[in-house]
Amino acid sequence: MIREITRPDFASFWPTFSAIIQAQETYALDPDMTQQDAFSLWCGSTLNAYAYVENDAVLGIYYIKPNGMGPSQHICNCGYMVASEARGKGIARLLCQHSQDMALERGFKAMQFNSVVSTNEVAVTLWQKLGFSIVGTIPKAYKHARLGLVDSYVMYKWL
Amino acid sequence: MIREITRPDFASFWPTFSAIIQAQETYALDPDMTQQDAFSLWCGSTLNAYAYVENDAVLGIYYIKPNGMGPSQHICNCGYMVASEARGKGIARLLCQHSQDMALERGFKAMQFNSVVSTNEVAVTLWQKLGFSIVGTIPKAYKHARLGLVDSYVMYKWL
């Protein structure tokens, strides 16, 4: 059900991706980016990206990439998205668990999220349940569409 | 004395750049990267880079770039390097002050350093003097050449 993403997978997931970045509540991405730019950013050559597929529908995606180079190359970074109609079913949890397995397989020792919007309580709580800690708080780091400037968290787990 | 960097500036500074990344004590960069890769990383199209020049010698360099996109595009990120023979003369301070001016000129509201190695006391102290706070501590984020795994700080200043 979770497999390497293809370009058609990404295209079929694009309405969700686009809605998420346009909402400006969770991701620090340009809300007006094109599908091509998004594909490069999420599935480009230095990344690995996966899709959660059920009955031919792409319900979730994630990427994994190094968060640093050289002396920090043991830390990876991931990002996850789930289609709105598929939320609350544990797909984000499955994706995160899968990404941790992939991380270990690729030799990473830790996983870091650089910008978890503090008001995204569902995500913060889920990452904490999965063993991540808030190791930093960036004040007024995110201009939330409804709430204005809010803090972002750096979250981290030694795998 | 501080001006936009040129390709010859970068080439003349390369021995310092190379020594700094090979030391593996301060920067999370591949110690074996080529000059061309380093130029792209430091002076590529999405960045602005500057050089501190004295008597035709490039003694320091820095870059400034956005640290996030969309809802976080008000935060910039910078990196600084000073030639070993020119340290202790206030050049890093000058570069950082210049970068803060440039940041405001370009419309940034805050500056974030994502990976200040905790054992790099000279840098940590200088950034604190210049108004930056430690807003995060990433455990065992940096494999220091002499000290092994050490923490990195996220440092931040609202401009």
Q: List Cα–Cα distances, A49 to A112, A154, B85, in angstroms.
A: 16, 21, 45
Q: How far A110 CA lies from chain B's nearest CA (Å)?
A: 8
Considering only CB atoms, B137 lies closest to which of A21, A135, A144, namely A135
pLDDT value at residue B44: 87
For chain A, the structural domain boundaries read 2-158
Please check whether residue A148 touches B, CB under 8 A.
no
Q: A110, B144: Cβ pair inside 8 Å?
A: no
A141 min Cα distance to partner chain B (Å): 6
Q: Flag if A30 and B70 touch (Cβ within 8 Å).
A: yes
Distance from A91 to chain B by nearest Cα, in Å? 26
Q: Chain A to chain B, count of Cβ pairs less than 8 Å apart? A: 103
The residues of chain B scoring below 50 in pLDDT are none
Looking at the partner chain, which of A70, A141, A156 has a beta carbon nearest the beta carbon of B139? A156
Report the pLDDT value the prediction gives residue A46, as an integer from 0 to 100.
73
Predicted pLDDT of residue B156: 98
Q: From first to last of its 159 residues, what are the pLDDT tens digits of chain A?
A: 999 999 999 999 999 999 999 999 999 999 999 999 999 999 987 779 999 999 999 999 999 999 999 999 999 999 999 999 999 999 999 999 999 999 999 999 999 999 999 999 999 999 999 999 999 999 999 999 999 999 999 999 999
ipTM of the complex model: 0.94
Pairs from B78-83 (Cβ < 8 Å, separation ≥ 24): B78/B103, B78/B111, B78/B113, B79/B27, B79/B42, B79/B113, B81/B13, B81/B16, B81/B17, B81/B20, B82/B16, B82/B52, B83/B13, B83/B16, B83/B57, B83/B58, B83/B59
Q: How far apart are CA A30 and CA A34, in angstroms?
A: 9
A19 Cβ under 8 Å from any chain B Cβ? no
Q: Cβ of B112 under 8 Å from any chain A Cβ?
A: yes
Residue of A71, A74, A145 lying closest to B24 (CB–CB): A71
CATH number of A2-158: 3.40.630.30
Chain A touched by B155 (CB under 8 Å): no
Residue B55 distance to chain A (closest CA, Å): 33
**Using CB atoms, which residue from B21, B74, B136 is nearest to A136?**
B136
Strands A133-144 and B57-66: unpaired
